[in-house]
Amino acid sequence: MPTITALETRDVRFPTSRFLDGSDAMNPDPDYSAAYLVLHTDERTPDGEPLAGYGLAFTIGRGNDVQTVAVAALAHHVVGLDLDDVCGDLGTFARRLTDDSQLRWLGPEKGVMHMAIGAVVNAAWDLASRRAGKPLWRFLADLSPAEIVACVDWRYLSDALTAEEALAMLEDAAVGREARRAHLEQHGYPAYTTSPGWLGYSDDKLATLCREAVADGYRIIKLKVGASLEDDVRRLGVARSAVGPDVRLAIDANQRWDVAEAVGWLSELERFDLAWIEEPTSPDDILAHAAIRAAVTVPVSTGEHTQNRTMFKQLMQARAVDLIQIDAARVGGVNENLAVLLLARKFSIPVFPHAGGVGLCEMVQHLAMADFVAISGSMEDRAIEYVDHLHDHFVDPVRVEGGRYRAPVAPGMGARMWQRSVDDHAFPDGPAWQAPAPVPAMPVPARVPAEGHALAEGAVV
């Protein structure tokens, strides 16, 4: 029988702090990093390549070693499994990891251990969709309603959503699935950009990047806020002048405020006609989000640090958010994100997936697209975050054109990195970390003619 033969891990880090990319009020100097893993198998693809599954947990530097050890700690649950069993029942596969009675103590279902589970679960979905020869979004959208329901761990959800209700919602959503798939393949999925808005950038750079973003087709631009109210007012003025009245501006405080501080700050900023405030306070604080939402006119959101489906459920039950972010690498993988997408449909909450980082755009686009085709049926009232860096380290990088994500066509979930990128950025011994002076963050040529890339270029309508 074909089996998973090994779980390989690598500690991969990019020295992004040298350029202030990704700087915000809570994260002044991130080195975008990945606890990267490969599920090796003894099967081959139709092309004769070794079949494998790729996944990662995203971190921002220190601690990526801890995250990598946590991924490796799951090997005993995975190595030796029958590929047919894994690919045929990814619900049972994911629950095997979250239900480990001893590992559960380290969360439960939160933090380092849960992100490790998410990385391994995502790698298994990558493996299953590669084996099926489909991009993950398509693999998911082709599952039956009952198969999707079987992927979800329903524990702790039944006071808001039951498996039976979810099945009924998914059966409703099955109507029009083929037309939505064709629409997606033709038109892509809306993107929004955070690239102009990092706190470390000058006003001139902010204005220039905002104008470029509008010219590139973006209809929403997000700025980081929360370090200085005076600076935020000035920077939002700069941005609003640069983009005109019709482009939406969102802001992100990265957990900076208490309730009263958030309300005071937002009262000064709401005149800029904001699309949303993201992470105004602790991601754990459901009641604080509800209190802030009740006091300001800016739509409230959170989610990139929301640890699991139980917290998302409460954010919706408490009417604490107007919209949410999901993140491909924070919760327990595809399965738990399916639960969150089902909750969002139940509560009519639009989803604006969090991305950027390393591989987050590549992965999360699949979830948003599967949601459009098979779950919510909506796309034009939402958008996937896009940040334009580090994509060239990936074998199947995202393609964003005219402010929209093009639907991926290469099989898998998108987390596979070039071997050279992995080796060059291995921490602490890779060449990128040996250089006495800053090295370019993207050593791979910008447009490498790779098989996945060429396939993607050719197949989208």
Catalytic residues, by residue number, are 224, 354
Q: In the bound complex, what is the minimum distance in angstroms from residue 457's beta carbon to its own copies?
A: 34
Q: Give the closest residue to 379 by CA, choosing from 133, 181, 202, 211.
A: 181
Q: Give the closest residue to 232 by CA, choosing from 263, 270, 259.
A: 270
Q: In the bound complex, what is the minimum distance in angstroms from residue 198's beta carbon to its own copies?
A: 14
- Taking the least distance from each CB to its own copies, the nearer of 115 and 191 is 115
- Taking the least distance from each CB to its own copies, the nearer of 208 and 317 is 317
Angle between the 334-347 and 360-370 helix axes, to the nearest 10 degrees?
Answer: 50
Instruction: Report the greatest alpha carbon distance in the chain.
Output: 64
β-partners of residue 56 are 36
- Taking the least distance from each CB to its own copies, the nearer of 157 and 300 is 157
Residues in the chain: 461
β-partners of residue 400 are 405
CA–CA gap between residue 190 and residue 180 (Å, rounded): 14
Q: In the bound complex, what is the minimum distance in angstroms from residue 327's beta carbon to its own copies?
A: 11
- Taking the least distance from each CB to its own copies, the nearer of 155 and 234 is 155
Q: In the bound complex, what is the minimum distance in angstroms from residue 455's beta carbon to its own copies?
A: 33
DSSP per-residue letters across 412-438: B-S-PBPHHHHHHTBTTTSGGGT-SS-
Q: In the bound complex, what is the minimum distance in angstroms from residue 365's beta carbon to its own copies?
A: 21
Q: Classify the phi-psi angles of 38: left when phi > 0, otherwise alpha if psi is within -120 to 50, otherwise beta.
A: beta
Residues that bind its own copies (CB under 8 A): 26-31, 59-63, 65-67, 69-70, 73, 100-116, 155-159, 255, 258-261, 281-288, 291, 305, 307-308, 310-311, 313-314, 317-318
Long-range contacts of 65-70 (CB under 8 A, 24+ apart): 65/11, 65/427, 66/112, 67/35, 67/112, 67/115, 67/116, 68/9, 68/10, 68/11, 68/35, 68/36, 69/9, 70/35, 70/112, 70/113, 70/115, 70/116
- For residues 324, 328, 334, 340, the Cα torsion angle rounded to the nearest 10 degrees is -10
**Which residues, other chains included, contact 115 with Cβ-Cβ below 8 Å and sequence gap of 6+?**
35, 57, 67, 70, 329, 330
Q: In the bound complex, what is the minimum distance in angstroms from residue 30's beta carbon to its own copies?
A: 6
- Taking the least distance from each CB to its own copies, the nearer of 291 and 379 is 291
**Contact criterion met (CB below 8 Å) for 277 and 301:** yes
- Taking the least distance from each CB to its own copies, the nearer of 52 and 360 is 360
Q: In the bound complex, what is the minimum distance in angstroms from residue 450's beta carbon to its own copies?
A: 30
Q: Give the closest residue to 195 by CA, choosing from 408, 455, 391, 419.
A: 391
- For residues 347, 309, 338, 422, the Cα torsion angle rounded to the nearest 10 degrees is 140
- Taking the least distance from each CB to its own copies, the nearer of 23 and 195 is 23
- Taking the least distance from each CB to its own copies, the nearer of 140 and 363 is 363
DSSP per-residue letters across 245-289: SSSEEEEE-TT---HHHHHHHHHHHGGG-EEEEE--S-TT-HHHH
- Taking the least distance from each CB to its own copies, the nearer of 278 and 371 is 278
β-partners of residue 324 are 302, 351
Q: How many CB atoms lie within 10 A of CB 212?
A: 14
> In the numeric block, which tokens belong to residue 237?
């003025």
Q: In the bound complex, what is the minimum distance in angstroms from residue 27's beta carbon to its own copies?
A: 5
